[in-house]
Amino acid sequence: MIVHYINILLFALPLNILIRSLHKKTSTTPNHIQNNRSLCECELYAPANYDNDPQMKKVMEHFDQQASQRLREYDERLQEKRKQCKEKCDKEIQKIILKDKLEKELMDKFATLQSDIQSDAIPTCVCEKSVADKVEKGCLRCGGVLGEGVMPGMGLIDGSLLGAISVLQPAAITAAKEAAVTEATALATQEGMKAVISIIEKMSVIYEKHQITGFISSVNEKNFKSAAALRDSVVNLFNKSCNIEGGDKATVFCQGMVLNSEDKTFNGYVNPGIAAFQKEYSSQKELLETAKVGAVEATYASYQTAIIASIVAIVVIVLIMVIIYKILRYRRKKKMKKKLQYIKLLEE
């Protein structure tokens, strides 16, 4: 029994070793064999092994290219930095020069100021002004005066004149027509009287000379168109000479024109005068009316042209003043902006 136990134990030990060896992974360690080339000192530095080696030449060329490229980049960076430094220095120099110039100008301006203290202790400063400042101030003053008072007043006057012309022109045309009628009536009256007198003169073969002369003298502006009025004038003139006591009672003139006459007796003298009057009146009225109305219209047209021209001139002057004012104002703003920039720069 003891022998069997011993055999079992002896058998279990190699069995256990076998099982463990099956579960364990195998590992192999490679052995690196280094091949060394050994050259002697004379062969290492030989020209055939160093200068004429293609790989060595390629390495040296690559090294030279990289070195030259880096040197160029370094040179470019150096030039750029120098340029930036130079620009910065130039700006600083310009600022210093501008600052000195501004300080000098301000000192000159302050030197020109003259303080004048009066007895009433009111400080006043007398400053020399440039020509541009004087012109600007004068133009601004003129623009204010013209724009606020003179130009509106002149425009109002011109407008009122145009309104007055528009009202007076019809009245003037009516007056011109009335004057044309008056002159045409006077001329037509003269022509009518001449026609009546010419008819009376043709009766000189029948009537006596003093009778014709008296008959002509009785013709006037009031009776040359009226037979009754002309008869009354003739009767009143020849009544004494043609009455019973007179010596002309038996004459043809006294019998036909004074003593036994009627209104229709004088129609032969009046009708030619009326015809001549109407003809002359029609022609003269048209001519005179055209001339006088044309003269009135031309006169008022010239007035209107003058007023419109003055209005246009006023508008042009106002526009010019506005343009000058805008230009001077722009210059003033620009100058003030520049001064503010100078002051800001000085403060910096």
Q: What is the pLDDT of residues 106-141, one digit of tens each?
A: 777 767 654 443 444 444 444 445 555 665 566 556
State the pLDDT at residue 147: 53
State the pLDDT at residue 53: 74
State the pLDDT at residue 119: 42
CB 102 within 8 A of CB 346: yes
Sequence letter at residue 244: I
3-state percent helix, strand, coil for the chain, nearest multiple of 5: 80, 0, 20
Q: Which are the contacts of 42, defined by CB distance < 8 A and separation ≥ 6?
A: none
CB 141 within 8 A of CB 280: no
Give the dihedral of Cα atoms 101, 102, 104, 110; nearest 10 deg.
160
As a whole number of angstroms, the distance between CA 226 and CA 219 comes to: 10
State the pLDDT at residue 126: 41
The 10s digit of each residue's pLDDT in 196-242 is 888 888 877 777 788 778 888 888 888 888 888 888 888 887 777 77
Residues of the chain with pLDDT below 70 are 1-16, 18-51, 110, 112-167, 243-250, 260-261, 263, 346-348
10 Å CB burial of residue 271 (0-12, 13-18, 19+) is: middle
State the pLDDT at residue 139: 59
CB 137 within 8 A of CB 127: no
CB 265 within 8 A of CB 257: yes
State the pLDDT at residue 207: 78
CA–chain centroid gap for 258, Å, is: 86
Sequence letter at residue 22: L
Please name every residue paired with 123 in a beta bridge, in sequence order, or none if there are none.
Answer: 117
Sole residue written with tokens 């009544």: 239
